[in-house]
């Protein structure tokens, strides 16, 4: 049986492969600023737009992953995004926050991916 942390990392890898297959370029994984708590799971770009990706992984349908990104979580992610933009000196790029939900079937080792854009 996998731990919650291992399942989360597995989900992030699946999300990364999915995004790369969709033509996104990976800029950063697990971005953690020095002075803020939390992290951005994936930062990718496509053309001249940045995408900050929150990945939620589940192994049962006891909750919907998108329900875990409530107002409080979005505000926290927005602070992390602002920190990233400031640290990298990015001023003129458009950006958006996306959610990728992963359902993992641990028995079959298969995954299902949902991409919610501009949450």
pLDDT in tens, 18-58: 999 999 999 999 999 988 899 999 999 999 899 999 999 88
Most confident of 5-9, 73-77, 107-111: 73-77
Classify each residue of 72-99 as buried b or exposed e, where b means 16 or more C-beta atoms within 10 Å of its C-beta. eeeeebeebbebbeeeeeeeeeeeebbb
Q: Which CATH architecture has domain 4-116?
A: 3-Layer(aba) Sandwich (3.40)
Q: Answer yes or no: is pLDDT of 95 > 90.
A: yes
Mean pLDDT of the chain: 90
pTM for the full predicted model: 0.90
Per-domain residue ranges for the chain?
Answer: 4-116
């Amino acid at each position: 049986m996998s731990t919650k942390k291992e399942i989360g990392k597995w989900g992030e890898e699946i999300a990364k492969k999915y995004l790369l297959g969709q033509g996104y370029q990976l800029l950063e994984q697990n971005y953690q600023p020095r002075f803020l708590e939390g992290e951005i799971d994936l930062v990718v770009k496509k053309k001249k737009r940045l995408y900050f990706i929150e990945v939620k992984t589940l192994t049962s349908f006891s909750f919907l992953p998108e329900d875990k990104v409530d107002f409080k979580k979005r505000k926290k992610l927005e602070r992390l995004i602002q920190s990233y933009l400031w640290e990298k000196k990015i001023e003129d790029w458009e950006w958006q926050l996306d959610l990728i939900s992963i359902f993992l079937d641990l028995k079959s080792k298969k995954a299902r991916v949902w991409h919610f854009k501009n949450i």
